[in-house]
Structure 1
Amino acid sequence: MHIAFLTPEYPHEKVRHAAGIGTSIKNLAVALVQKGVKVSIFVYSQKEMLVLEQDGITIHLIPHKKYKFFSWFFYRKYIQNYLNRSIYLDKIDLVEAPDWTGITAFMNLKAPLVIRFHGSDAYFCHLENRKQKLKNYWFEKLGMQKANAFIAPTNFAGKLTEELFHLKNKEIRTIHNGIQLDVFSNQEPSIFEKGLLLYIGTIIRKKGVFELPDIFKRVVSAFPEAKLVLIGSDSFDIQTNSKSTWEILERQFDETLKENVTYLGKIPYEEVSEYIKKANVCIFPTYAETLGMVTIESMAMQKAVVNSNIGWANELLVDGESGFLVHPASHDAYASKITMLLKDKKLVETIGENAKKRVEMYFDIEKVAQQNIDFYKRQL
């Protein structure tokens, strides 16, 4: 079986951008290759035309092209033609694409198409109570219509997307994103920096970062030695039109606490991993996700997590057993769970052990890869 992934991003030095979509695709692609499946990656909107090999995977970089008129149509047709040539020449059996921006709108591919719900613009606009541009919805709706079937990372994401796009008579299968357990290991979970809180993710409004100043202030009042470290790329703030969300966020932290807050920006994953190991508690007060990979990665490393309790999050962990689920706007409750963990090392270790077991049961990429293979076979 030969599976192709169409994507705007992928973790490779030659690729312009890599984030959550690219990471989840790579995790799956590597696992599929290890199970004997041939995999090709097609990354669009790149600087140059290039074909690479990595981890037994063929990576096609498709250059971005501009047209005098209707670039949104003609560039999609250019990608379609490139894909169809590869489908014919390389005997590709099935193509998987993301829902984001409706890249498959107007495409007529010569192989079955599966769309995975990484999170459409419509999905995130709904969760954030933002108005979506009609053009964006139209593209995503047309892209959905081209699919033979769909994969959702959580039941919540699947049901909400189905409602938003009125999807009928096509299979939507929930298959969680997976991680390589050996990559996210922590040999000494009982050793950590007491009081260290860790946030990992883009510094952006939808991730709930503007809840952190008040939550952290309440934590410090009960646990004065607490420190907060934030890791992730800065971003444009859609509400204020500011180029830097961090600049706005930094001003909201109490002046007396700023010495206890460190923003590291985007750093290499090896360093991120070390910070996860050092963390006492990992916190993710997000308002909009389809799954939340950093939550799973932290749990795999036996960390106590205080996570958002919205929709999808209830499928990640069991509240009070493998982590805590609290609404991001409930500052008292959120701070209370953090403080309870900071004051109870035994509880931290127990939660961490349970978190790892849950990841092993539901998010092991070996199990997830086989679920994907079985699903692909049904579409053929």
Structure 2
Amino acid sequence: MRLLIAGAKPKFFHLKEFGDALAKLGVEYKLVHDLDVYTGFPSRDIRKWFQTRKKFDVLVSEFKPDAIFIDRQAHFGVAAVISKIPLFILLRGDYWSEMKWAKETLYKSPIKRIVLWWKQRIAEKCFNGAAVILPICKYLEPIVKEHYPKKSIQVLYGGIDSSKWYPVKEMELKHPCVGLLQGAWIWGKTKEILTLTKVIEAMPDVTFYWAGDGPYRQKITDVLGKYNNFKWLSALEYPDKVRQYLAALDVYALASGIDMSPLTLQEAQLMKKPVVATNAGGIPELMIDKETGFLIKKGDHEDWINKLTLLINDKVLAANMGDSGRKFVIDNFSWERMANGFLKIVQEHIDKK
């Protein structure tokens, strides 16, 4: 089997690991940056508005894939639909809620609304033409079915290489400390960080670090930056600096309004850190409440204070949860497991035809 994998450059690290796991199972794969092959409108580079499918057609003609795998909805996916090659779309988030939040925040001007409409049009063509849509967690499955009830939909959890998350020299942080590691790209996710305002205020002897960036970053730092025990570290180099950061934390925190399969939650557990996270979206599927950490209801700052205080003071409990977290991730989210699951889905699609 030949599989053409296309995605965004920031995801190449993980897409290559997925491809390598498939290769061990006999799959020949080729990984490409989707926008290098076919960008089209909208793009900041006006010259790319008038691109054709020529590069895509040459790529397909030379590689001759049996299937195409993408992890975002772009012109590349539309070209795949037109080619009639079976298209498998990994859906990483609640696309429809994200579009709603975008309209309410960053895309209010008429020009940006046109851009957003065009992006939605492209996404709809990808979803409608897909052989199978692959939501990355069970929480997302009924949401996809609501929008595309007649499509084949199969949950495909992401994978992670546990061997790349090991003890290292720690980043220099002030202890005791709690660390967040999350972007600020979607307001529906990011705004939950503000729940920690009262937590940071109530725990002056604990330093709270946030590593991450994005268009909504300042909305957070303008509020939390007023506290001496809050430090913003910007985005960190992946994976080396991220590994050093996680190694230094006493507790990993994920305050998110909605998340499907946050990779940092898996990484923190592999680094044997007890985790405290918002009980939202697919987050409960990536940890075990009261065993690898604690789940907190959205907006419940008092529970955040209680659980963080408990983990900082009880070193034995924190260590036990860290050990359990690493085992849980290794047992359930290996690349081998994801690769085998994907091939099973492909075979089921072939059998139905």
Same fold by TM-score, threshold 0.5 exceeded?
yes
Q: Offset at 1:285? A: 0.8
CA distance 1:198–1:207, shift in 2 (3 Å): farther
For 1:57-72, list aligned pairs within 5 A. 61-62=36-37, 64=39
* Deviation readout 1:186-244 (Å, 9 max, x if unpaired): 4899xx974211111213463755444552543553x44211121123x223xxxxxxx
Pick from 114, 137, 147 the counterpart of residue 88 of structure 2. 114
Structure 1 partner of 2:285: 315
Q: Are 2:1 and 1:4 aligned?
A: no
**Structure 1 stretches lacking a partner, 5+ long:** 11-17, 46-60, 238-244
Aligned partners of 1:66, 1:316: CA distance in 2, in Å? 36
Partner of 2:26: 36
User: Which residue of the other structure, out of 191, 196, 207, is the alignment partner of 1:215?
Assistant: 196
Structure 1 residues 320-372: Cα deviation after superposition (integer angstroms, max 9, x where no partner): 11221113311111222111111111111111111112101211112222212
Q: Secondary structure at the match of 2:180?
A: strand
SS of structure 2 residue aligned to 1:111: coil
**SS of residue paired to 2:83:** coil
Q: CA RMSD in A?
A: 3.1
- State the partner residue of 1:55: none
How many residue pairs were aligned?
Answer: 334
Hey, what's the Cα distance between the residues in 1 that align with 2:19 and 2:188?
Answer: 27
Query: Which residue pairs with 1:167 in the alignment?
Result: 149
8 Å Cα contact 1:215-1:332 kept in structure 2: no
| Residue identity in the other structure for 2:89 | I
Structure 1 pair 208/197, CA: closer, same or farther in 2 (3 Å)? farther
Match of 1:293 among 263, 276, 285: 263
Q: Judging changes above 3 Å, is the alpha-carbon distance between structure 1 residues 211 and 360 closer, same or farther for their aligned structure 2 residues?
A: same
Shift of 1:120: 5.6
Match of 2:177 among 192, 196, 204: 196
* Partner SS for 2:33: strand
Aligned to 2:162, what secondary structure does the other structure show?
coil
Q: Displacement, 1:249?
A: 2.3
Instruction: Compute the displacement of 1:134 (Å).
Output: 4.6
- What SS does the corresponding residue of 2:37 show, helix, strand or coil? strand
**SS of 2:345 mapped into structure 1:** helix
Which of 35, 57, 66 is equivalent to 1:93?
A: 66
- Normalising by structure 1, report the TM-score: 0.77
**2:108 matched residue in structure 1:** none
Cα 1:187/1:41, change in 2 over 3 Å = closer
**What is the Cα deviation at residue 124 of structure 1?**
2.1
Greater share of helix: 2
Aligned equivalent of 2:77: 104
Matches within 5 A, 1:194-273: 194-204=175-185, 206=187, 208-212=189-193, 215=196, 217-219=198-200, 221=202, 223-233=203-213, 235-237=214-216, 245-246=217-218, 248-253=219-224, 255=226, 257-258=227-228, 260-269=229-238, 270-273=240-243
Asked if 1:361 is matched to 2:331, the reply is yes
Q: 2:138 matched to which residue of 1?
A: 155
Verify the 8 A CA contact 2:39 2:76 in the aligned structure 1.
Answer: no
Residues 336, 209 of structure 1: alpha-carbon distance in 2 compared, 3 angstrom cutoff: farther
Report the CA distance between 1:289 and its aligned residue.
Answer: 2.3
Ranges in structure 2 where 5+ consecutive residues have no aligned partner: 106-112
User: Hey, what's the Cα distance between the residues in 2 that align with 1:30 and 1:314?
Assistant: 28
For residues 100-120 of structure 1, the C-alpha deviation after alignment (integer angstroms, 9 at most, x for no partner) is 457534640242111111236
Identity of aligned residues (%): 17
Whole-Å Cα distance in 1 between the matches of residues 194 and 260 of structure 2?
Answer: 25
Q: Give the 5 Å matches for 1:71-90.
A: 75=51, 78-79=52-53, 81-90=54-63
Give CA deviations for 1:39-95 in whole Å, capped at 9, x if unaligned: 1122133xxxxxxxxxxxxxxx3264579xx999864xx34x433333332221100
Displacement of 1:295: 0.5
Q: 1:66 to 1:100 in 2, by over 3 A?
A: closer
SS of equivalent to 1:310: coil
